A and B are shown apart, each in its own frame.
Chain A
């Protein structure tokens, strides 16, 4: 069970790293690469705190084998700013609408919102709820989050 070389694109940058084959994508991101924006909640695919984008689609990185991102493109919350430190419009809307309290769910929630809006620029409230159903938030009660996503979609 020797280490294997894994090559992929992380937030637009090529990465090459030696990993043990049993690691999850979340372990590689947080523990090896120190991209700690991605959070671990349940570790079982239920809560969405570990959500990242894989070729633009959301996946739960806590149950995703790291070696399956070979040759693919991963976007974490760190990759959402424009490079000059300016927040993404979804992040701005989250701040404006008070859609963040403790913030633990926020990275995953924002990425789910991004994947949703990339696919459907004008989602209905129902579609927003359906789109973020895999992201649990214990603080906000979701209403502000839904408003923020709606606001971001109107820009």
Chain B
């Protein structure tokens, strides 16, 4: 492996000034699960690694009007956070299936976003949740919507000399659910062929089912009841990973649904629209037509999972039924 120096600054300012001092010779390292692998694969040749591990305050999850996730928060910490599981479930869905326990114990959310792999598992959930990222350099600090962060495969707006210091997620509206599905060949330790995240807010969460709490009704029956009860979609965000050169929002599909009455027919149309506006390509992992077909299936399925989570919050993460 290439030799490098390893610096461990104790403050953000120190890290920024080291970044400035070493310029292109330096590479930041968080958990290192991308950086070390890339050095071993001879894709990166830094002379100096600047570690963010020793900087206090970058590894916290805070919820105070807004969810604030430090860039050094590990996927394992996200997987274990009850708050995130309850309120921002799509992010839990992604943390839960990212790598292995060993990887999740060290790999960070900041590193995942900055590497900007088209297959980054947290990207689509963060887009669906309406996240913003804070970027800091020695002179400036700015906060941008995560949509603007990714510019291409492995490319972002982050400049040399900048550190991602925070991920901000707005508190969801009442009656909101979110969900992410990673389509993969293996049950674990695989990169997604496709990632689909949906966030849905309803105007009310009351629905007339034949059983009192709708707990025994299949989700398709519940959907039918929602239609009868005139339940409306207040907000929706649909995000796709590995469906275009960057993680993308399916805004045409969202516009079809926002403000409309929920129905099986409409969800079908929304899913078809999302599949049409995606730009998947043929790759080693899957063909474009397959990705497109699966976007249609999974957008509808994730919208239904959102509804399930709104109506049956106790059944959030591991539903037994497949649909």
- A positions within 8 Å CB-CB of B: 1, 4, 20-22, 24, 43-46, 48, 51, 54, 57-60, 63-65, 67-68, 70, 112, 115-116, 129-131, 133-135
Contact = CB atoms under 8 A, between A and B. Distances in A.
Given A22-B2, A46-B189, 16 more contacts: A21-B3, A21-B6, A22-B5, A43-B40, A45-B103, A48-B100, A57-B105, A58-B105, A59-B105, A60-B102, A64-B36, A65-B49, A65-B51, A67-B8, A68-B32, A68-B53
Given A44-B37, A65-B32, A59 B106 contact: yes
B100 A63 contact: no
B99 interface: yes
B101 A112 contact: yes
Contact of A63 (B2, B33, B188): B33
B296 to A, nearest CB: 29
B5 A44 contact: no
B3 A20 contact: yes
A63 B40 contact: yes
Given A22-B3, A57-B105, A134-B189, A64 B32 contact: yes
Contact of B6 (A22, A51, A116, A130): A22
A51 B102 CA distance: 7
A54 B36 CA distance: 18
B4 A21 contact: yes
A18 to B, nearest CB: 14
Contacts, number: 85
A44 B3 CA distance: 17
Scoring A45, A51, A112 by chain B CB atoms within 10 A of each residue's CB, the highest score goes to A45
B33 A133 contact: no
A29 to B, nearest CB: 15
Contact of B103 (A20, A70, A130, A134): A134
Given A24-B36, A63-B37, A130 B188 contact: yes
B236 interface: no
A48 B37 CA distance: 14
Contacts of B4: 1, 21-22
Given A22-B3, A67-B8, A45 B33 contact: yes
Contacts of A4: 6
Scoring B6, B29, B99, B101 by chain A CB atoms within 10 A of each residue's CB, the highest score goes to B101
Scoring B53, B99, B100, B188 by chain A CB atoms within 10 A of each residue's CB, the highest score goes to B100
Contact of A134 (B8, B36, B40, B101): B101
A133 B51 contact: no
Contacts of A70: 8
Given A22-B1, A64-B106, A133 B36 contact: no
Contacts of A43: 40
Question: Ordered nearest first, which 10 A-B pairs have the shortest CB separation?
Answer: A134-B100, A133-B188, A21-B6, A63-B36, A134-B102, A57-B105, A22-B3, A58-B102, A60-B102, A22-B4
Contacts of A24: 1, 36
Given A43-B40, A44-B40, A134-B189, A67 B6 contact: yes
A20 B189 CA distance: 31
A16 B53 CA distance: 21
